[in-house]
C-alpha cells in the first residue's frame, strides 16, 4: 500500500565528504539535488505528506553549521523560485526551533512558508534545529501551562492531547520512515509519531541516496 506520509532523514554528509576527500559543500550540493528530485517524486507518486529531518538541534560542529546554513539558503531559494510548489499547491512547514538559527536563514524560511501557507494539496515539512525528545518536552510544557491555569484537569491528559501539542500536531503519523546513514537508528526523529511506523535503513549516506533508491524502497 502506498504510504500517505513518509519520514526521511538526511544523514552522512560529513562522512561522505571525508570518504571522497572533498569539501563538505560538495556533499550538501549532491544532497539537496537528490532531495529536490525526491520532492518531485513525492508529487508524481501522489504521496500527500513528506517530513524531512535536515538539521538536529544545536549542531555541535560550527564549521558544518556554517556550510549547512549556506546550503539551506540556496536550497530554499531554489525551491521558492521553482514553480513546483505553486503548480502542485505544496505547503511547506518548518518543524523545530528554526528561529534560533543564524539570522541569514530566517528570511528564506519565512519566505517559503509565507508563499505556500494557503496550499493544501501536498505537505512538505522540514525539521530544522529539531530534536524529538525536545518536541515531547515542549508539548508537556504547553499542557502543564493549561493545567496551571485550571483549563484542564490532569486526569484528562492522554495520548491524543500530547499529539495535539507536538510540532506536527496537524499531521497523521508517518506510515514509513527512511533513515539514511550507516547506523540503523532514527536519531531522535519524530519520536512520538514513529511508534507504529515501518522503518527502512538503506545503508547509504544521503549524497548517495538518489531518487532511484527512494523509488526502489516504495516499490519493494
The predicted structure's pLDDT at residue 94: 97
User: Is the domain of 101 the same as that of 75?
Assistant: yes
Do both 71 and 177 map to the same domain? yes
pLDDT at 1: 77
| Alpha-carbon gap, residue 36 to 54, rounded angstroms | 13
Residue 31: predicted pLDDT: 98
User: Of 122, 143, 166, which residue constitutes the final position of a domain?
Assistant: 166
Q: What angle do CA 134, 138, 142 make, to 5 degrees?
A: 170
* Residues 117, 25 share a domain: yes
pLDDT tens sequence across 168-180: 898 999 999 999 9
Q: Could you give the dihedral angle defined by the CA atoms of residues 165, 122, 114 and 27, in that order, rounded to the nearest 10 degrees? A: 90
Structural domain that includes position 103: 5-130+172-218
List all residues 6 or more positions away from 196 whose beta carbon is below 8 Å from its beta carbon: 173
Residues 124, 99: one domain? yes
pLDDT of residue 2: 86
Q: Is 136 exposed, middle or buried (0-12, 13-18, 19+ CB in 10 A)?
A: middle
Tell whether 13 and 53 lie within a shared domain. Answer: yes
- Residue 175's pLDDT is what? 96
* Residue 134 burial class via C-beta count within 10 angstroms: exposed 0-12, middle 13-18, buried 19 and up: middle
The CATH number linked to 63 is 3.40.1180.10
Per-residue pLDDT, 59:
87
Q: Is residue 154 located within the same domain as residue 69?
A: no
Low-confidence stretches of the chain (pLDDT < 50) are: none
**Cell 528564506 belongs to which residue?**
108
Q: What angle do CA 127, 81, 206 make, to 5 degrees?
A: 40
What is the pLDDT at residue 171?
A: 93
Q: For 143-170, what is each residue's pLDDT tens digit?
A: 999 999 999 999 999 999 999 999 989 8
Residues 111, 122: one domain? yes
Q: What is the DSSP string of 115-182?
A: HHTT--SEEEEEE-SB-HHHHHHHHHHHHHHHHHTTSS-GGG--HHHHHTTSTTTTSPPPSEEEE-SS
Residue 163 phi, psi dihedral angles, 5° rounding: -60, -40
> What's the pLDDT at 219?
87
Same domain for 97 and 161? no
Amino acid at each position: 500500500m502506498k504510504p500517505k506520509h513518509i519520514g526521511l532523514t538526511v544523514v552522512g554528509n560529513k562522512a561522505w565528504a571525508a570518504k571522497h576527500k572533498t569539501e563538505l559543500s560538495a556533499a550538501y550540493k549532491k544532497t539537496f539535488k537528490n532531495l529536490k528530485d525526491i520532492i518531485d517524486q513525492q508529487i508524481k507518486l501522489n504521496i500527500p505528506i513528506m517530513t524531512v529531518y535536515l538539521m538536529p538541534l544545536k549542531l555541535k560542529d560550527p564549521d558544518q553549521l556554517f556550510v549547512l546554513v549556506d546550503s539551506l539558503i540556496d536550497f530554499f531559494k531554489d525551491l521558492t523560485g521553482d514553480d513546483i510548489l505553486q503548480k502542485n499547491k505544496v505547503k511547506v512547514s518548518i518543524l523545530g526551533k528554526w528561529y534560533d538559527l543564524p539570522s541569514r536563514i530566517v528570511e528564506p524560511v519565512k519566505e517559503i512558508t509565507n508563499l505556500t501557507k494557503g496550499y493544501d494539496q501536498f505537505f512538505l515539512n522540514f525539521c530544522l534545529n529539531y530534536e524529538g525528545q525536545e518536541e515531547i518536552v515542549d508539548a508537556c510544557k504547553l499542557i502543564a501551562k493549561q493545567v496551571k491555569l485550571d483549563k484542564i484537569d490532569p486526569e484528562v491528559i492522554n495520548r491524543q492531547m500530547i499529539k495535539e501539542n507536538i510540532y506536527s500536531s496537524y499531521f497523521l503519523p508517518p506510515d514509513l520512515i527512511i533513515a539514511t546513514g550507516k547506523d540503523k537508528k532514527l536519531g531522535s526523529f519524530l519520536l512520538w509519531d514513529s511508534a507504529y511506523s515501518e522503518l527502512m535503513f538503506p545503508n547509504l549516506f544521503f549524497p548517495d541516496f538518489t531518487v532511484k533508491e527512494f523509488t526502489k524502497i516504495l516499490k519493494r
